[in-house]
Amino acid sequence: MTAGTAPAAAASADVAIDLRDAAFGYGERAVLSDANLTIRRGEIVAVVGPNGSGKSTLMKGILGLNERVAGSVTLFGVPSHELRDRARLGYVPQRHTLSASVRATAEEIVSTGRLPRIGWLGRLRGTDRQIVARALDVVGLADRAATEVSTLSGGQQRRVLIARALAGQPDVLIMDEPTAGVDATNQHVLADVLARLVEQDVTMVIVTHELGALERLLTRIVVVDAGRIRFDGTPQDYAGARATVHHDHDSHHHDLELDTDRALLARGPLDATRTDGKRP
C-alpha cells in the first residue's frame, strides 16, 4: 500500500481514528500535509521515519496538541473538536526519563493518569486505586509502586509513563518513541509489556525510529518522510517495499517539528496534556 491510500473500508464503528487530507503544523506553517490515515480498533500501528519527518507532528495533530491547518480528523466517529471524552486517547510522550527533580513514587505518578476521569479536584476512590494498581501490574512494576521514580532505571521510568496513560483507561494508546534511549534488554521488556496490551485488545499507535523488538506485534506500518505519508501497509508489504519508501534527504526544513517538541518537553517534569481538547 502506497502513500495517501487507506486500507479497505470497514464499518465506521470499528474506526478509532480517521484523517482525510489533514495537514498539521505550528502557527500557520504545515509540517505534515495531505495525511490520509484510518486506524481501526485493535490495530497495532507503527509510524516510522527519519528525524524531523513529521511523525510527532502527526501524533500531536491527532491529539489536538498542534494546529490542524487543513483537512479533517474524526475520532471514534465524531469530529475531533467535538470529542468530549479526550481520555479515550492515551498519550505516552517522547521522553528519555522523568526529571530527576520529580519526588514522587511510581504509584503517585501513575495516579495522575486518573485525573481526566476524576477531575483535577477529585479524590481517588477505591476503584481508582485498583485501576492504578492494575496499570502498574500490566507493565511489570507492581513491586515498585512505592519506589521513587528518580531511583528507577530509564526503562522502568518508561514503563511508569505507559502505566500512567493506561490508568486513564484509553481506547487508543499513542506512544511517541517508547524505546528511544532504552537498551536492547529493556526494549524487549517493553515489547513484552506491549504484547500484554495486545492481549487486552488495546489499540496502539507507536512512533518509532526503528521497529526492532516491536515488529512482531505490528499489524501495520506507516512511513512518514519529508512531511508526507509515503507508505501504509502490512509488515509483509513493508518488507517488500522498504527499499523504495525510504530515501536519504535533507530534513533541515522540518527542524521546526524538533524544536517544538523540545519546547514541549522543557515545560516541566510532568507533561501538561490537556483533557478538554484545547492546546496547552
CB 20 within 8 A of CB 9: no
The C-alpha cell of 144 is what? 515498585
How many other CB atoms are found less than 10 A from the CB of residue 178? Answer: 26
pLDDT tens sequence across 18-68: 999 999 998 878 999 999 999 999 999 999 998 888 998 999 999 998 999
Q: Which domains does the chain have, with CATH numbers?
A: 12-265 (3.40.50.300)
pLDDT tens sequence across 243-266: 787 765 433 333 344 444 444 433
pLDDT tens sequence across 70-102: 999 999 999 999 998 988 999 998 765 566 666
Percent of the chain whose predicted confidence (pLDDT) is above 70 = 81
Question: How many angstroms separate the CA atoms of 207 and 257, rounded?
Answer: 14
Question: How many angstroms separate the CA atoms of 55 and 222, rounded?
Answer: 10
| Residue 1 banded pLDDT, cuts 50, 70, 90 | very low
Question: How many angstroms separate the CA atoms of 4 and 17, rounded?
Answer: 15
Q: Give the pLDDT mean for 127-138.
A: 95
